[in-house]
Amino acid sequence: MFSPCWSRLSCVALSSRGRLRTLSLFSSSGSSNWSKVVSDAEKIVGYPTSFMSLRCLLSDELSNVAMHLRKLVGTQHPLLNTARGFVYDSKNNLQMRGLVVLLLSKAAGPSHAASDLLAQDMVSGIYPSQRNLAEITELVHTAFLVHRGIVNLKEWTDSDGPLKDMQFGNKMAVLSGDFLLANACTGLAQLNNTKVVELISSAIGDLVQGVYYENSHNTEENGLTDGIDVAAWEEQTFLSHGALLAKSCQAAMELAKHDKESQRLAYKYGKHLSLGHKLNSDLQPFMKSRVGEPLSFSLSAAPVVFHRQIMGRETWHHQLQQAKTLRNQLDYSKLLAAVKSEKGVSTAMDLCCYHGNKALEAIQAFPSSEARSALENIASAVTKF
C-alpha cells in the first residue's frame, strides 16, 4: 500500500518580487471557532490530525528528505518552511480536503446498491476505500504545494541564501513533489475503480491548468492591464482551489456506489465550500489588517479583482500609480485603503456568503447526522470574517 501522508503544511514561496506568499490552500484564518469546528469534525471520522501527521513523519522516505533538508538551514528556500510545517503548524488545519471527504462518506452512509461492499469493513461508518481516497486527495494537494514552492532563480538575491543551496532546494522540491504524486497514483490504481481514477486524474489536470493560469495573472505587470474579470476569477479559482475537493467528494460517493444525484450534491458541496473558503482567505488582509504588521496581498485576490472591475481600467491604473513608492514598488497600505474605500470588499463578502449557503443547501439532502452537522458547521465557518 502507498505511504499515507496527511500533512499540516504551512507552505510559503517567494513571489517574483521576492515577497513571501502563503500557498496553503485551506489554512485557518486564525479564528478559534474554525479550529473548534475542525477538531469536532476529526473526532467524528476517527482520524485526529496529529496522528496522521505522525504517521507521515515516521515514514522512511520523509526521514531521508528531512535529513537532506538540513542543507537548507539558514536560507530562505520555501521548502524549509514546508518542512517546519510538519511539526510546528499547530494552528492551521490544512488537511481539510481529506477531512471533508471522510465526513461526506460518513454522512452519506452505505448505499443500497453496494451489495458487494461489506458493512463490517466500515470503520466509523466509512469504507476503507473512502479513507484511502481521502489520503490520496491529501497527497495530491501536498505534492502541488511542494511543487509550487520552487524558487525562480532568475530573481535570486544574496539575502535568499547561497545559490547552490537554492538550486539544491529546488531539486528537492521537484523530487519530493513527484514522490508524493507517484504514491497518490499508486494508491489511486489500487482502488480498482476507473471512474474514480478518471475523476482524480482530471482534478490533477485542473490543478495544473489553474496554477498556470493563476501565475500568468498574479504579477504587478498584469495589474496594470485589464487583468481578469469576476467570471474568469471564479473559473481560475475553481481549477486551482476547488476541483480537487469537488471531484474527490464525488469520487467518495462513487466508491460507495451512491446514485448520480448523491454524487452531484457531493460535488456541489465541495465546489462551493472551496470557493467560499478562498474568498474568505482573500478577504483576510482587508478585514484584519493592523498597524505595524507587514502587509501584502495578491493583485488577483477577489476584493482587488472586484474593485478593479467596478472602478474601470483608467481609475484602477491611476490608483496603482498613486500607490507606487519612489523605488517604483507598490505601497500595499495605500492600495488596500483604495480597495476598502469602494465596494470590492463587500462584493467579495457577499459572494463568500453565497457560496457558503450553496454548500449548506447541497448537504441538506443527506440524512441528519453528526457528520452532516459537522459539514454544515464547516460551511458556516467559511462565512465568518
Q: What is the DSSP letter of 75?
A: S
Residues written for the chain: 385
Model confidence pLDDT, tens digit, residues 64-100? 555 555 555 556 556 656 655 554 444 444 568 888 9
Mean pLDDT of 328-340: 80
pLDDT surpasses 90 at 288: no
Confidence of residue 347 (pLDDT cuts 50, 70, 90): very high
- Residue 182: alpha-carbon gap to chain centroid: 20
Higher pLDDT, 76 or 347: 347
d(CA 157, CA 92): 30
The region of weakest confidence among 32-36, 39-43, 253-257 is 32-36
Under DSSP, is residue 110 helix (H, G, I), strand (E, B) or coil? coil
d(CA 223, CA 238): 21
Confidence of residue 180 (pLDDT cuts 50, 70, 90): confident
Residue 347 has a CB neighbour count (10 Å cut-off) of 19
Under DSSP, is residue 77 helix (H, G, I), strand (E, B) or coil? coil
Q: What is the DSSP letter of 239?
A: I
Q: What is the DSSP letter of 160?
A: G
Evaluate the CA torsion angle 78, 276, 260, 100 in order and state its sign: positive
Q: Given this model, what pLDDT does residue 290 score?
A: 56
Higher pLDDT, 334 or 85: 334
Q: Fill in the amino acid letter for 361.
A: E
Model confidence pLDDT, tens digit, residues 217-226? 655 545 544 5
Distance of CA 322 to CAs 205, 330, 336, Å?
Answer: 39, 9, 12
Mean pLDDT of 237-244: 93
Q: Given this model, what pLDDT does residue 28 score?
A: 42
Mean pLDDT of 158-187: 79
Higher pLDDT, 382 or 116: 382
Q: Where are the domains of the chain?
A: 39-111+121-285+297-383
193 with 258: CB under 8 angstroms?
no
Model confidence pLDDT, tens digit, residues 91-132? 444 568 888 999 999 999 888 776 666 666 777 788 889 989
Mean model confidence pLDDT for the chain: 76
327 with 310: CB under 8 angstroms?
no
Q: Given this model, what pLDDT does residue 264 score?
A: 97
| 98, three cell numbers | 481529506
Q: Given this model, what pLDDT does residue 152 score?
A: 72
Confidence of residue 23 (pLDDT cuts 50, 70, 90): very low
Under DSSP, is residue 20 helix (H, G, I), strand (E, B) or coil? strand
The region of weakest confidence among 48-62, 143-157, 231-245, 340-354 is 48-62
39-111+121-285+297-383: which CATH architecture?
Answer: Orthogonal Bundle (1.10)
Model confidence pLDDT, tens digit, residues 46-71? 654 444 444 454 455 555 555 555 55
What radius of gyration do the chain's Cα atoms show?
21
Please name every residue paired with 21 in a beta bridge, in sequence order, or none if there are none: 13
51 with 381: CB under 8 angstroms?
no
d(CA 27, CA 114): 35
pLDDT surpasses 90 at 367: yes
Mean pLDDT of 284-304: 74
pTM: 0.80
150 with 174: CB under 8 angstroms?
yes
| 4, three cell numbers | 499515507
Mean pLDDT of 264-291: 88
Model confidence pLDDT, tens digit, residues 2-19? 443 333 333 333 333 333
Please name every residue paired with 126 in a beta bridge, in sequence order, or none if there are none: 123
d(CA 66, CA 380): 37
Q: Fill in the amino acid letter for 340.
A: K
